Every structure is written in structure tokens, then in C-alpha cells.
Structure 1
Amino acid sequence: MTKAQHGLNSIYSAFGIGDLETRDYSRNFGMGSSGIGYRPLGYLNEQNPASYSGLPQMNFMMDVSIRGQYITYQGNNISQNAGDLNFKRLAVGFKAAKWWGVSAGVTPFSTIDYKILSKQYITGTGQAVQGVMTGTGGLNRAYISNGFSINKNFSVGVSTAFLFGPKEISQTMGSDSIVTQNNSYTFKPNFTAGAQYSAKLSKVWTLGLGATYRFESKMKLQNKVNIVNQDATILFTQDETSTYFTLPTEFGGGLSLSNGKITWLADYRHQKWNGLNDKGTGYYYQDGERYSTGIEYALQKKYYNRTYEGMTFQAGFSYTKSPLVINNTAVSDKSGTAGVSLPSKNGQLRYYIGVEVGQRGTNANGLIKENYVNAVFNFSLRDIWFLKRKEL
């Protein structure tokens, strides 16, 4: 059985390279993490690297996001809960030229966090002891993204990312103080291309269309086995044969419709997992899909005949068909979101709070159903840089 202790602690993170991140922890969060077809002026949108061509000139932007999470786990003879607080995003961006926007950042790409308790039998005795397996780690994504304006309506972009991180699995038997550690590490570049088209439908309404394509990456996992005692002293270590895991191509499309006050977004993403990676015991991969949509309403303020964005309010929904199939049962995730953004008095800072309530998995066929609440806190700095002073 599984038993929640801390953090995400999801049994679904025990497969492959962990629990893949599908959410965007910027201001897109409250709109179902949609944004492929949107080119915002006031924040950094990594959903589509082409969007950075729309960053305002002489502005430097920085985003920091953290997430608080509370989960209830339900299954056969299981009723547990857990909560945690994690860093989720650090990003900076600026306009390098009139036609060129740049952003760089780091964010989690996958998470491994689980604990499994099971009965194991000692050979020749028939005596049962409790086995404990814990998994931690996951991949991080560090990236540099560039967006280029081709003309006033069309832009393209590319995100160059580096996926890196450890996968650590520890096993103990009964009261034995000896721990067997199976550790893996990988480092692999990955690329995502994007395009956006934006045009006026009327004097006030603007339509945005976007598309993205993430290229396939075959990751080499360098494996090592350590046997350690309770004092963390290594008693034995050995390098194992490297294994491989293929991250599939992903394509996505999105649209936006905005008049400055009201913005509506909708996205679709598809991951080509089918036929990739070997089937494991009791599980395999199928193509994954994600649908999302959201709406935002922005209050506006006028200052010296110029219009500025005030408070904003958001609502959204998302549905994800996970590529992971366990015991011939597909794993799905559905959630509703809401968010609010508030400017500081001087306008340089914005404070954002997003909330998500959802459910993942099922109780059928020995699986675990997760009911969760996520709260995202985002702080955005927007400062004027590169401004040349004129001497009188």
C-alpha cells in the first residue's frame, strides 16, 4: 500500500522519470494554465517562446513563484493526506531589440516523491517482514527562450532547455539498518519551437493564434547502486549499465481573444508517447492530451490620459489524459482554477494568487484517487531599464 508522509508523495511519480509537470506557474495559472496563443505585455509567458517578441521595450521583468499543496489520498484500506510548499519558477526577461525578446529561467520538469510499504517474505522461512521503498528527486528545466517579430502580426520563437536531475530510490527490509540505493542522473538538452499570429478583429478586439512543437529527446540515465548503513556510510558502490528514456514530441495549439478588459484563452496539447519506452510491470504509456481554457477580467485605471492595468480576476478549467496507464486503467486529471492579480502602489510589483481544486486518478483496479488543492503565490517585478538620460 502507499502511505503519504510529506510533499507530493504520489504513487504516480514512481514510473518513468517521475510525475511530469503540466501546469504553468505564471499568471496563466488561474486560466487553466492556458497561453499558447497569448502575447501578454505585463508578464513572461513560457507557454510559447514566440510571445517574448511582444515584451515592452526598456523593461526588465522578473517572476518568482511558489506553490502550496494539500492532497487527500483514497484507495483500498487507504485514507491519508499530505501538504507541502515548493519553489516552482524563477524567470527573467527583457527586450534585447525592437524585434527580439529574451527570457531565461528554471522550473521543475518532473517530480519523484513516493513511499511504498509492502510485505516481503524471507526465502526458506516463510516469515513476512515489512519492506519500505522511497523515491525522491526529479528533473529540473533550465532554459533560455527567444522570440522574434517577423512583422507586426507574426512572430516565431525557440526555447533551448536543459533537463537535468537525480532519481533516487531507497529500499530497506524489516528493521534492517542497511539501505540499498539505486541512483540515476541525466542531463539532456531539449528544444521547443513556437509561432504566434495576432490581428485586430475590430477596433477593440484582438485575435491571437499560436502553435508549439517540442522535439523528442532520448535521455541517457547514468545508474549507480550504493549500499549504506544507518550512519550514511557507504559500504559498497557500483556503477550500473546506463539505461535510456525517451521524452516524446509534443505539439500544441492555442487561441486568445481580448479587448484589453476581457481575455479568453483556450489550449490543446498532444504528447506522442505511444510506442516509446518499454512496458513495465503493470504499466505502459499511451499518447497524452491536455485541454484547458480560462477567462480574465481586468480593471483599468487612467493616469495622464494613459490606461493602466489594475486588479485582474481569473477563472479556468483543465482536463489532462495522462500518458500513464496502470493495470490497464488510464489516469486522468481534471481541475478548476481561479486567480487574482494586484498591482503595488508604484506599479513595479504585482502580487498574484492562484487556486486550483482538482482530482486525479481513480479507486478502480488498485489505483489511488488524489483530491488536491493547489495555491500559487507569484511575485512579478517590472522595472524600466536601458533608459538613456538626456543632459540639459
Structure 2
Amino acid sequence: MKLLHLNMYKKINYIAAVVLLLASYSVKAQVTSQSPYSRYGLGNVKGMLLPQLRAMGGISTAVNKPSTYYSNINMQNPASYAGITMATADIGMSAGFKELKKGSLSEGSFNSSLSHIALAFPLKAGRTGLSFGLVPYTELGYEYTNTEQLDTTTVNKLYAGEGGLTKAYFGLGQQFGDHFRIGANVEYVFGNLIESRSTELQAAGVLNTKQQNKNSVGGIGFSYGAQYEIPLSVKSRITLGYSGSYKSDINTKTSFVVTRYKLNSAGEEEPALDSASFLENNSAKLKLPLVHNFGISIQKDNKWLIGADYRMGKWSQLSINGVNKGLEDSWGFSAGGQLTPDMTSIGSYFNRVDYRLGFTYDKTYIRIGNQDVKQMAVTFGLGLPLAFNRYAFHKLNFTTELGRRGTTSNGLVQENYINFHIGFTLNDTWFRRFKFD
């Protein structure tokens, strides 16, 4: 009986810790970014990927269970929830260095944030599972100035944006027969997108203007997926996958403010003198695009997995309050894999480590001056086991992304970045029965 009580207290502590983290995330977390390309659309789209999937180039559509010993949460394709066999919690954070280059100029920045909180539970182990959590959807963050000469007066045009969108999701996955799975997520998309544009004359006492647009987003979206397995042997298989998101209409409140202000003798902005225009809390609709993902993977249980994804997004459909955002349709692909030399090794810890590698390429939805903005990255990472027994499996996942977006040709900005992701995965059997002699 004492053992049972200790086990109950341990589970209660886990639940309490997760609840506190969820509350902290919703109240205090703020995503930051430094990217001029986040000005377009809704900001930089993050994708619903945990570190262990990002390390493999972001392959996810056809990934179910790389191991029979533990469960991973793959919210990018909710059909995978059907393979959850243990109570699973995944919590992580991200950090990154970014260098912006334009011509002979360059500028660096560093940002970090809490990246995800996700939980999953088997309703019927290996057949039915559910998952819920919080993940970032987009990041908005930029600030730059264009300088023009008007007769003998210097005019600065300042552009700035901040904020981002988050997804709170709840999903179910179900397996039918021995090889086919389907699943769906209900996603509450929320957050603020704040953008401003100022026109400043470089002279003290001159009246300048600033326009600020704010979208406060809060509404329901949907995503879905399916997977089909083709057995090659008892321990190896090919998995085919599809996932997508519906072109949902999300509620948003728009605000538009025009203020006038002056600069002091040091060139700093003084408090606004008045508001030339003010419109607040106008109801509108944010129309999200239809997105498709197709994937294939080949794996040998507890040994290796390789796979590839192809994706396309109808971002030309994105609009706010009926106004099209002028984006292009996007497409991209990822390839990657994972190798575990010997998951049950006793003599060598490094034989139990997951080694991951991948590559990703995208033609983004941004087109400037008749030139597509493209993005590519090499990814790699480790899955470090922390504890393992028949009832629990804990793992620390590290991922690094080395990437580039854009180019310095034709006056564009090139982003070179190094992103780091870390996630703690806890697998446990929370509701097992104990027998006493």
C-alpha cells in the first residue's frame, strides 16, 4: 500500500507541474523574433513540430512510432495519436542566433522563448489516443528604416511589428484494422499582431505621424490526417501519410490608430500629441489557407527510420477583413532520419542514444521584386535517454538548425540563422494496477 501511495503522489506532482507550466505559458510567454520577412502574411510560420521531428528535417506526415519502447507526440499528423501507448508529456524551449545581411551591412540578434507544452494519453493502448497542448503558430518581429531625401529635408520611414499567434489544440487519433489510422485536431488560434508605420522629418519641433494596425485574433481552426502501414516484416514497415489544415475563418478584432508626435532635440520620439484617427474593435475575419502534407517513411523498430515529406500551402488565399495579403502559394520538402545503435545496450550509453539528421527546403509564400524568397536548412540532433524501465522512459531531445532565408542579390535581405531546440519527453504508465500478495 505504501508503494501505491508513493506512486500516486508522484503522478500528482507531475500533473501539478504541468498545470503550473501551462498557466505560466498562457500568462507570461511572449514570442520574440527579429526578421524583416515576418512583415509578410501572419509572420514567420513555425509549424507544429517537436525537437525530435525538427532534427530530422521536420519529417512528420508519415511518422508514427520510431520505437516500441516509448511514445512521441506528433501533432502535425493527429492520426499518429492512435499509436500512443504511455502517458506522455513534452515540454521545451527554443533559442536562436540570426544574422541579417544586405549589401555590405550586417546585423546580429539573439532570441529565446518557451516553445511548446504537449501531453498525450492512450484511451486504448495502440488503438485510440488523445493529445492536447500549446504550440507557437507564427512569430512577428521586425524593425527597420528607409531614408529618403525630400528637397533639403531627410525623411525617415520607420516600419515595426511585434506579436504572434499561438495554437491551443485538442486531438484524437483512431486505428482501424491493423494498418490504417485517422485523426483530427481542433485548434484555438489566438494572439495579437501589431504593426506600425511612421513618417519622421529629421528636425526638432516638426509634427510627425504614426499609423498602427492591431489584429487581436481568437478563433477555431481544424487539422486532420491519415496514415497507412505496409508491413515488410515483423519489425519493419513502410508508412504512407497525409495531413492537412482546413481553410478556416478565424475571428479577429481590428484596431487602427493614427497619432501625431514630435521629436526632441536628441531625435527621440515624444509622447503623442493627439489622435488624428481612431477605430477600435471592428469585427473581421482572418481567412487561413488550405495546407496539404504528403509523406513516406521506412523503419525498422528500435533501430532506424528514414522518411521524406512534401508540402504545399494555398497562401494566396490568406486575407484579413476580406483584403488579400498578396502572398504566393508555397511548397517545400524535407528528408531525414534517425538511428539508434542498440536501445537495450547495457555496456554503452551512446548505443542507446538517438542520432538524427535532416534537410529542409521551401519556396516560401513571399515574392519581392519578381523574385521568390527561398529557405533551406540542415538539421541534426540527439535523443538522450535519462531513465528506462518497463513503466517509464524519459528522454532529453536536442536539435540544431543551420539555415538561410533570402539572398543578398537584387537588394534583398539574407537571413543566416542557427536555431537550438530542447525538449524533455516523459513517458510513464500512470494508471497501472498493482497486485499484492
TM over 0.5: yes
Partner of 2:291: 250
Tell me the alpha carbon deviations over residues 180-199 of structure 1, each in whole angstroms, 9 at most, x when there is no partner: 53221111211111111123
From 92, 95, 107, the counterpart of 2:122: 95
Q: What aligned pairs does 1:48-63 form with structure 2 within 5 A after superposition?
A: 48-56=77-85, 59-63=86-90
Rounded Cα–Cα distance in structure 2 between residues aligned with 1:177 and 1:106: 41
Partner of 1:328: 370
* AA matched with 1:153: H
Q: What aligned pairs does 1:280-291 form with structure 2 within 5 A after superposition?
A: 284-291=326-333
Tell me the alpha carbon deviations over residues 163-192 of structure 1, each in whole angstroms, 9 at most, x when there is no partner: 111011234435779865322111121111
Partner of 1:161: 187
Q: Secondary structure at the match of 2:81?
A: helix
TM-score if structure 1 supplies the norm length?
Answer: 0.87
Q: Give the deviation of 1:228 after TM superposition.
A: 9.1
CA gap 1:146/1:120 in 2 versus in 1, 3 angstroms: same
CA gap 1:138/1:390 in 2 versus in 1, 3 angstroms: same
CA contact (8 A) 1:188 1:217 kept: no
209-218 vs 234-243, greater mean Cα deviation:
234-243
Partner of 1:70: 97
Rounded Cα–Cα distance in structure 2 between residues aligned with 1:31 and 1:244: 36
Partner of 1:82: 109
CA gap 1:81/1:100 in 2 versus in 1, 3 angstroms: same
Partner of 1:295: 337
Q: What aligned pairs does 1:149-228 form with structure 2 within 5 A after superposition?
A: 149-172=175-198, 173=200, 180-226=211-257, 227=259
Partner of 2:137: 109
**Does 2:310 correspond to 1:268?**
yes
178-187 vs 34-43, greater mean Cα deviation:
178-187
How many residue pairs match? The answer is 376
From 5, 9, 17, the counterpart of 2:42: 17
CA contact (8 A) 2:149 2:155 kept: yes
CA contact (8 A) 1:23 1:29 kept: no
Structure number having the greater strand percentage? 1
Q: Secondary structure at the match of 1:265?
A: strand
CA contact (8 A) 1:115 1:133 kept: yes
Tell me the alpha carbon deviations over residues 10-66 of structure 1, each in whole angstroms, 9 at most, x when there is no partner: 11111121122247233111100101111124211112100010011xx21111121
CA gap 1:276/1:238 in 2 versus in 1, 3 angstroms: closer
Identity %: 25
Rounded Cα–Cα distance in structure 1 between residues aligned with 2:436 and 2:345: 27
CA gap 1:28/1:234 in 2 versus in 1, 3 angstroms: farther
CA gap 1:144/1:114 in 2 versus in 1, 3 angstroms: same
Rounded Cα–Cα distance in structure 2 between residues aligned with 1:138 and 1:232: 26
**Does 2:167 correspond to 1:141?**
yes
Q: Give the deviation of 1:121 after TM superposition.
A: 6.9
Rounded Cα–Cα distance in structure 1 between residues aligned with 2:400 and 2:136: 19
CA contact (8 A) 1:34 1:47 kept: no
Where in structure 2 are there 5+ consecutive unaligned residues? 1-30, 262-268
244-253 vs 220-229, greater mean Cα deviation:
220-229
CA contact (8 A) 2:317 2:324 kept: no
Q: Give the deviation of 1:84 after TM superposition.
A: 1.1
CA contact (8 A) 1:49 1:193 kept: yes
Partner of 1:388: 433
CA contact (8 A) 2:307 2:336 kept: yes
Partner of 1:127: 153
CA gap 1:43/1:233 in 2 versus in 1, 3 angstroms: farther
Q: Give the deviation of 1:379 after TM superposition.
A: 0.8
Q: Give the deviation of 1:303 after TM superposition.
A: 8.3
Rounded Cα–Cα distance in structure 1 between residues aligned with 2:279 and 2:327: 30
Q: Give the deviation of 1:389 after TM superposition.
A: 2.2
Tell me the alpha carbon deviations over residues 218-276 of structure 1, each in whole angstroms, 9 at most, x when there is no partner: 33442213449879889655327555442211111111111120111111111123465
CA contact (8 A) 1:63 1:381 kept: yes
Rounded Cα–Cα distance in structure 1 between residues aligned with 2:411 and 2:252: 30
Q: What aligned pairs does 1:38-57 form with structure 2 within 5 A after superposition?
A: 38-40=63-65, 41-56=70-85
Q: Give the deviation of 1:76 after TM superposition.
A: 3.2
CA gap 1:334/1:194 in 2 versus in 1, 3 angstroms: same
Rounded Cα–Cα distance in structure 2 between residues aligned with 1:36 and 1:360: 24
RMSD: 2.7
Rounded Cα–Cα distance in structure 1 between residues aligned with 2:408 and 2:435: 68
**Does 2:400 correspond to 1:374?**
no
TM-score if structure 2 supplies the norm length?
Answer: 0.79
Q: Give the deviation of 1:120 after TM superposition.
A: 5.9
Of the two, which has the highest radius of gyration? 2
CA contact (8 A) 1:23 1:33 kept: no
Q: Give the deviation of 1:310 after TM superposition.
A: 2.2
CA contact (8 A) 2:287 2:317 kept: no
Q: Give the deviation of 1:131 after TM superposition.
A: 3.6
Where in structure 1 are there 5+ consecutive unaligned residues? 1-5
